[in-house]
């Protein structure tokens, strides 16, 4: 019997709370699991504020001091939450790297691209001196930029070039898993498509696994091997794109995808999901989607639905799965 390969990332029952200035807590991530296998592309989708970025930052161990995290976060078999900052530091950037949401606007405006990349390489002890300078040249070429970019400042670059530099910096330590948090949000459609094609090519050429957070549902359906749908801090459904698109079990998944216009299709006009997600600084007694759910029943308002697994990464958290809209 052959055992299943060990996942590169295996996070279970991750919870994140932020301390608020008024003494209350905001429960941003609620029992989320994330499993990423070698060379796998996982898409994470869900409305704004549902905890996607917070979950990625928890995996990186980069949440602010006001956050507390519980659960289990394993990267390459190492239990990082148990090992603390020392364990995170051993794997951060080297095994698990991230292109932050808004990264292209966070590059230092007064330092040339070359020095930014060299400083990152030296900080993470990948290379120093001339070796770091050469590695910086290799990295900009890897992301499809001319070497002249190394002498430029941030403001001299287009949005697409800046995002490529952010990508080069994330790849500096040769990671196994790349987390990309809305890497194309601020880019126009043509440039976004080029950056996505680049990420796709690099994941193949560098044997990377990818976790892609995006609001672009047609994109995630086309490019990812698995999709996780988040709502109010919880992973409410996960499966292959075919599962999620053709056989959604959670009413939120169905409505979310129905609410997305696909310009390439002649299908029905998109619908809107009435209402708004709940505030995460308040306790939700039952299913967080209950107030907006067209199929809610009495139990939904009082009992939190537990995730049901159908094997092979397929799961959902709904008391009445599969009810059609």
Ligand X SMILES: Nc1ncnc2c1ncn2[C@@H]1O[C@H](COP(=O)(O)OP(=O)(O)OP(=O)(O)O)[C@@H](O)[C@H]1O
Q: Which residues bind ligand X (CB under 6 A)?
A: 18, 26, 28, 46, 48-54, 64, 66, 101, 280
Give the CB-nearest residue to Mg ion. 53
Judged by beta carbon distances under 5 to 8 A according to partner kind, the member of ligand X, Mg ion, none in contact with residue 268 is none
Distance spanning both ends of the chain, measured CA to CA:
43
Judged by beta carbon distances under 5 to 8 A according to partner kind, the member of ligand X, Mg ion, none in contact with residue 98 is none
Give me the least distance between CB of 73 and ligand X, in Å please.
Answer: 16
Q: Tell me whether residue 233 or residue 305 sits nearer to ligand X (CB atom).
A: 233
Give me the least distance between CB of 288 and ligand X, in Å please.
Answer: 12
Q: Tell me whether residue 55 or residue 167 sits nearer to Mg ion (CB atom).
A: 55
Give me the least distance between CB of 53 and Mg ion, in Å please.
Answer: 3
Q: Tell me whether residue 15 or residue 240 sits nearer to Mg ion (CB atom).
A: 15
Judged by beta carbon distances under 5 to 8 A according to partner kind, the member of ligand X, Mg ion, none in contact with residue 28 is ligand X
Query: What is the phi/psi pair of residue 292, to 5°?
Result: -105, 0
Give me the least distance between CB of 15 and ligand X, in Å please.
Answer: 12
What are the angstrom distances between the C-alpha of 218 and each of 131, 141, 223, 239? 41, 29, 9, 15
HEC secondary structure over 257-320: HHCCCCCCCCCCCCCCCCCCCCCCCCCCCCCCCHHHCCCCCHHHHCCCCCCEECCCCCEECCCC
- Residue 215 bridge partners (DSSP): none
Rounded CA Rg of the chain: 20
The number of residues making up the chain comes to 325
Give me the least distance between CB of 27 and ligand X, in Å please.
Answer: 9
Report the C-alpha gap between 192 and 185 in whole angstroms.
Answer: 8
Q: Tell me whether residue 46 or residue 251 sits nearer to Mg ion (CB atom).
A: 46
Query: Given the rule CB under 5 A, which residues bind Mg ion?
Result: 52-53, 101
């Amino acid at each position: 019997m052959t055992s299943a390969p060990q996942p590169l990332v295996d996070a279970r029952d991750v919870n994140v709370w932020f301390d608020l200035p008024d003494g209350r807590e905001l429960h941003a991530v609620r029992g989320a699991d994330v499993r990423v296998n070698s060379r796998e592309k996982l898409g994470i989708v869900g409305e704004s504020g549902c905890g996607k970025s917070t979950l990625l930052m928890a995996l990186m161990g980069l949440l602010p001091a006001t956050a507390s995290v519980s659960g289990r976060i394993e990267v390459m078999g190492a239990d990082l939450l148990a090992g603390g900052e020392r364990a995170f530091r051993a794997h951060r950037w080297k095994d698990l790297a991230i292109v932050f949401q808004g990264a292209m606007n966070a590059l230092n405006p007064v330092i040339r691209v070359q020095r930014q990349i060299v400083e990152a390489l030296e900080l993470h002890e990948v290379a120093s001196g001339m070796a770091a300078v050469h590695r910086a040249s290799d990295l900009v070429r890897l992301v499809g930029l001319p070497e002249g970019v190394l002498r430029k400042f941030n403001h001299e670059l287009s949005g697409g070039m800046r995002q490529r530099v952010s990508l080069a910096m994330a790849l500096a330590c040769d990671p196994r898993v790349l987390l990309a948090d809305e890497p194309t949000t601020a880019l126009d459609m043509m440039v976004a498509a080029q950056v996505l094609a680049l990420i796709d090519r690099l994941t193949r050429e560098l044997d990377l696994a990818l976790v892609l957070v995006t609001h672009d549902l047609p994109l995630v359906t086309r490019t990812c091997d698995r999709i996780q749908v988040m709502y109010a801090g919880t992973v409410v459904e996960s499966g292959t794109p075919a599962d999620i698109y053709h056989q959604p079990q959670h009413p939120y998944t169905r409505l979310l995808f129905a609410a997305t216009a696909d310009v390439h299709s002649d299908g029905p006009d998109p619908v809107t999901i009435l209402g708004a997600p709940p505030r995460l600084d308040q306790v939700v007694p039952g299913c967080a989607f209950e107030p907006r759910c067209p199929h809610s029943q009495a139990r939904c308002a009082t009992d939190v639905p537990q995730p049901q697994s159908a094997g092979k990464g397929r799961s959902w958290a709904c008391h009445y799965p599969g009810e059609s809209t």
